[in-house]
Amino acid sequence: MANVVVIGAQWGDEGKGKIVDWLSARADVIARFQGGHNAGHTLVVDGTVYKLSLLPSGIVRPGKLSVIGNGVVLDPWAFVEEMRALREQGVAITPETLMIAENTALILPVHGELDRARESVNTVAKIGTTGRGIGPAYEDKVGRRAIRVADLGDGPTLEARLDRLLQHHDALRRGLGLVEVDRGALKAGLEAVAPEILPFAAPVWKQLADRRRAGDRILFEGAQGALLDVDFGTYPFVASSNTMAGMAALGTGMGPGAVDFTLGIVKAYTTRVGAGPFPAELHDADGQRLGERGHEFGTVTGRKRRCGWFDAVLVRQTCETSGVDGIALTKLDVLDGFERLRICTGYRLDGAEIDHLPIAADQQARVEPIFEEMPGWRETTAGARRWAELPAEAIKYVRRVEELIGCPVALLSTSPEREDTILVRDPFAD
């Protein structure tokens, strides 16, 4: 049975939540493999809106196993709050429906405090962090001083990890003018939240291996987008983790052979939250219209997203670096009613045409988009569930996108509703 990894192929906010939710009907296990609770997903199911930040999108589907993999950094207090909110909406969350990898690193209050303090004193180039401690938590993970889920049930280990962690953080805090960490309060907070977390702790790598051998279908759910990847994104305006498909195996404890199909989620136009290069960005009425019609505000932060035309150069690049087999094109309905549409097909840098976004930050900031214009359509695509329901010009637009990015459309989304989806190629059928 095929296993599928879903990633965002732009700067995030592509509509992964709905697509993962839609695909989870065909999956047995849904696993998050990177990121933290800064990655917002909004699901609309039978008119009910679910807002997820940390929990996998499959959690709202009965009978599925949801997994938080070791590649995620987990804020235990945010986890408890999100779980409480979903339970109030009638979602059943038990150790039978949700597992957390024992070796998942924790986000602590000291991480959020450090995150916000750094950003407030940064006068060179603000990254646009959400201030939730994701970056500092990943730093402690690679610095070998993180507190992990399993440590919550092991008193001596927790004591030793706290000593190592605070030796580092207290020095940083003194340099930033912050008071040193109250060790007793931090330990007490961890001991208090531990009973809420430990029942879900499990050797996820083993559970997934067993499920795979049993023939279960596994859906790997990424957060953010490929252009925010710490290696291949628009550095330094990126996430603190690898956001591309290759992370799915590492972030859950499975080998690379576990992934059979990579689905890239792509918005029919382009958006970005926060600072950083954005070659196809619009600062006119069209950009304003895209933002208003697409309700372009962050699920977690509420920040207004920058909007622009579809950038085929960037999507082609991320399809290559993530090995995307097919894309899910979302929010096509936002383009309804435009008299003309534009697609970025290349860049111009210092007078020369180039076909990719360069790595150097100063060059990224200087590239100029080369646009191709296409006619729009007056009819609506909202709610379409078959190709025959789409206007001819909308189909031409989709086909041109496929041609420019060198990757076929597997799914087409025409509204936030779960069933307003046109299936072209079932990723689980491969």
Annotated catalytic residue 13: yes
Q: Does residue 67 sit in helix, strand or coil?
A: strand
Q: Which two tokens stand for residue 335?
A: 């383009």
Segment (H or E) for 118 = helix 109-121
Q: Which two tokens stand for residue 235?
A: 């550095």
What's the distance, CA 111 to chain centroid? 20
Q: Mapping DSSP to helix (H, G, I), strand (E, B) and coil, where does residue 351 land?
A: coil
Choosing from 13, 21, 115, 333, which is the catalytic residue?
Answer: 13
* Alpha carbon distance 406, 426 (integer Å): 19
Q: How far is CA 72 from CA 55, 75, 101, 208, in A?
A: 10, 10, 9, 16
Catalytic position from the list 37, 41, 111, 169: 41
Q: How far apart are CA 302 and CA 182, in angstroms?
A: 31
Q: How far is CA 367 from CA 229, 286, 316, 357, in A?
A: 20, 21, 17, 8
- Residue 137's CB is within 10 A of a number of other CB atoms, namely 27
Contacts of residue 255, Cβ cutoff 8 Å, sequence gap at least 6: 249
Active site residues: 13, 41
